[in-house]
Amino acid sequence: MELKIFKDYSDLSASAAMQIVNCVKSKPTAVLCFATGDTPKLAYQKVGEIAKQHNVDFSKCFFIGLDEWLGIPPANTGSCHYFLHHYLFAPLGINSSQVHLFDAMTVNEEVECDKMNRLIEEKAGIDLMLVGVGVNGHIGFNEPGADISSGAHIAQLEEITKSVGQKYFNEEVVINKGMTLGLKQVMNARTLIMMANGKKKAPVVSRVLNENISTDFPASLLRQHNHSLLMVDEEAASELEK
């Protein structure tokens, strides 16, 4: 695992956006899987501009959803679906045929997860996965104790995830379960990037680097991935030893 520390959120985001653009530049048919949340928001906003500057075409790549709040409709501005369309797909002019996200309104959760697993196999895996990290170390909705060999599944959310998650919504919502790619798929991504910014993520970043590698703190698994990058700003790195 490589660690990169940036002066601030803006520099961090520009570099993450550059990683995305470079991936598509070297492989126009890349399969991409991106987290939502506050952390990667600015990076996604910068992708369009950087892609234009470098003349990189996103029309042949494919996007797979990392996670979603079960039961939250796509039109809800707090859904992962809405977020990705608003900050990434619409500005980049991505066609709906280039995207497969979890259907949070599915009547058959198992079928929905199987569909996701099959699609990833058909696409021969994920080239670049960019994730954030929860305060409890979750990746996607792989909460502490998640199964290392899991594929797409429905996860019972921890109380902390449910309460922190309210920040994405305009009104209070019931969010008990998440749909998520599993740790097997996270670890199988050919490149895995984790981003973290701000003081509130400093204890988490310290744990990512210092905790025993275990699913008790899923983000620690990043250190076991053979092509992973932890990108943080100085605030998020502030609890690391020099």
User: Could you list the residues that contact ligand GLP (CB under 6 A)?
Assistant: 35-39, 66-67, 131-132, 134, 140-141, 161, 165
Residue closer to ligand GLP by CB (options 67, 235) is 67
**Greatest alpha-carbon span in the chain:** 51
Could you tell me where the beta strands, DSSP code E, fall in 19-104?
A: 31-34, 62-65, 67-69, 99-100
At closest approach, how far in Å is the CB of 33 from ligand GLP? 11
Residues 6+ apart with CB under 8 A from 37: 83, 132, 168
DSSP state of 213: S
User: What is the rounded distance in angstroms from the CA atom of residue 179 to the CA atom of residue 153?
Assistant: 6
Q: Would you call 2 helix, strand, or coil by DSSP?
A: strand
Starting at the edge strand that comes first in sequence, how are the strands of the sheet with 2-6 ordered? Answer: 2-6, 228-233, 191-196, 128-131, 31-34, 62-65, 99-100
At closest approach, how far in Å is the CB of 57 from ligand GLP? 27
At closest approach, how far in Å is the CB of 123 from ligand GLP? 20
At closest approach, how far in Å is the CB of 210 from ligand GLP? 20
Residue closer to ligand GLP by CB (options 40, 56) is 40
Residue closer to ligand GLP by CB (options 27, 144) is 144
User: What is the rounded distance in angstroms from the CA atom of residue 139 to the CA atom of residue 141?
Assistant: 6
Residue closer to ligand GLP by CB (options 36, 185) is 36
User: What is the rounded distance in angstroms from the CA atom of residue 224 to the CA atom of residue 96?
Assistant: 34
Residue closer to ligand GLP by CB (options 67, 112) is 67
At closest approach, how far in Å is the CB of 168 from ligand GLP? 7
Q: Which residues are catalytic?
A: 67, 136, 138, 143
Tokens representing 221 are 């698994």
